[in-house]
């Protein structure tokens, strides 16, 4: 499974996006599907930097992928704090823009852009986020 480690910095997001975009192209996705995959991974990595590490430069993100017969499986591994995704509220998009609360938006987008989203929290072994996009 191809894998790369990136510094947990916002400046790494572009390189992560290129890595994931290339994988999605190899898997045979069209441009709109590639955009959705890259956006989901970007949201996940931003959450890792902000919430798992509490800011930039506090750790690494390992990004791995597997091209399957029916799509693409992406794993993001970090060694930051874990969290309970089940208690993150879904954002209310039916409010005026100035009242929109963005907490939970990244998780919402990941779940709606990808076909599967699974979290595994392992303490000292780190956290693994698995996202699957099917063709």
- Distance CA(129)–CA(32), nearest Å, equals 22
pLDDT in the model for residue 122: 80
**What's the predicted TM-score (pTM) here?**
0.89
Q: What is the pLDDT along the chain (135 residues), one digit of tens a residue?
A: 899 999 999 999 999 999 999 999 999 999 999 999 999 999 999 999 999 999 999 999 999 999 999 999 999 999 999 887 777 667 665 656 565 565 557 788 899 999 999 999 987 789 999 999 999
Cα atoms found within 13 Å of the Cα of residue 20, Cβ hemisphere only: 31
The number of residues making up the chain comes to: 135
Domains of the chain (ranges; CATH) run 3-134 (3.30.565.10)
pLDDT in the model for residue 24: 98
């Amino acid at each position: 499974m191809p894998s790369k480690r990136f510094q947990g910095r916002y400046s790494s997001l572009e390189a992560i996006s290129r890595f994931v975009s290339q994988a999605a192209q190899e898997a045979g996705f069209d441009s709109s599907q590639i955009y959705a995959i890259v956006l989901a991974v970007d949201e996940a990595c931003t959450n890792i930097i902000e919430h798992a590490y509490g800011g930039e430069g506090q750790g690494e993100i390992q990004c791995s992928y597997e091209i399957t017969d029916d799509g693409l499986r992406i794993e993001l591994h970090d060694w930051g704090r874990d969290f309970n995704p089940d208690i993150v509220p879904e954002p209310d998009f039916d409010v005026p823009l100035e009242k929109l609360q963005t907490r939970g938006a990244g998780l919402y987008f990941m779940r709606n852009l990808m076909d599967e989203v699974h979290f595994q929290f392992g303490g000292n072994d780190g956290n693994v986020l698995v996202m699957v996009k099917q063709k």
